[in-house]
Amino acid sequence: MARNEIGGRLGEEFLSPGSSSFTEFLTAHRPDMLSTRRILPEGARAAPDQFPHGTTVLALTYRDGVMIAGDRRATMGNLIAQRDLEKVHPADDYTAVAFAGTVGLAVDMVKLYQVELTHFEKIEGIPMTLNAKATRLAGMIRQNLGQAMQGLAVVPLLVGYDDKAPDGENGRIFSFDVTGGPYEKPGFHAEGSGSPYARGALKKLFREGMSRREAALAALQALYDAADDDSATGGPDISRRIFPIVSVITEEGFERLPESETEELSREMVEQRRSRPDGPTAAAL
């Protein structure tokens, strides 16, 4: 793709002015490289037990910014396809994306989105606004609509730190439907098969101005509740030392919590569940 057959030089498409969108560039010149545009043969539908699916991811705002987390399990029907899948990824220094849905397409979409943001910044000389980042991701999801209707849906969750927002409102969360519709969510949100249970837990545990530790425990409690009621969601695997991924974005940028910190909080939570299997109750008013 990169070079002309004559003299090994870059093709004319690389030297001509064009869009700041890398996805649009590929659509115009190499649409075959966009996995999200490939559609199964007419009438075909993907069987749910033939492709790995990621399950539960969530996000919540806290005192210093926004936190995003996900369990590690991928399933194919009633089988565990992977126990240590990474569903939470930085998109750039101040944005992160997590995914539920078809793993192969989701990983490709995340990689393409990372390039999309980098390409825009190199071409325009400035980073996108967070609203523009949400719009770009919505467009990429919309390109996958054909495959989503055939059973290969990808459901991302986008979070970012917006330094132009009022103080205390810098952490922002966006969810999407399979048609690419973006929806900003105040406070917290969850996606994936275990999301109803995770949202229920966060509705009980979330409060404004939580510390990083309090927010991390709330996220882990929510993922534990999701795993407790949804067989496709994996809880902390103490014996294998596989724990949820928890990351934060603050004015300092993206940071993934060290595994030692996540393990310590997970073990603390599991120990608490020995005496309270249903988890903590909501804080008194």
Do 8 and 112 touch, CB atoms closer than 8 A?
Answer: no
Angle at 48 between CA 47 and CA 53, to 5 degrees: 135
Provide CB contacts within 8 A for 246, sequence distance 6+: 67, 68, 69, 88, 216, 219, 220, 256, 257, 262
Among residues 19, 37, 41, the alpha carbon closest in space to that of 143 is found at 37
User: CA 13 to CA 33: how far, in whole Å?
Assistant: 16
Do 108 and 35 touch, CB atoms closer than 8 A?
Answer: yes
- Measured in whole angstroms, the distance separating CA 4 from the mean position of its chain's CA atoms is 37
Of the chain, the end-to-end C-alpha distance in Å amounts to 61
**Active-site residue, from 23, 36, 55, 56:** 55
User: CA 78 to CA 231: how far, in whole Å?
Assistant: 8
CA dihedral 120, 162, 137, 116 (to 10 degrees): 20
- Told to judge if 129 belongs to the known catalytic residues of this protein, a careful annotator would answer no
Please give the positions annotated as active site: 55
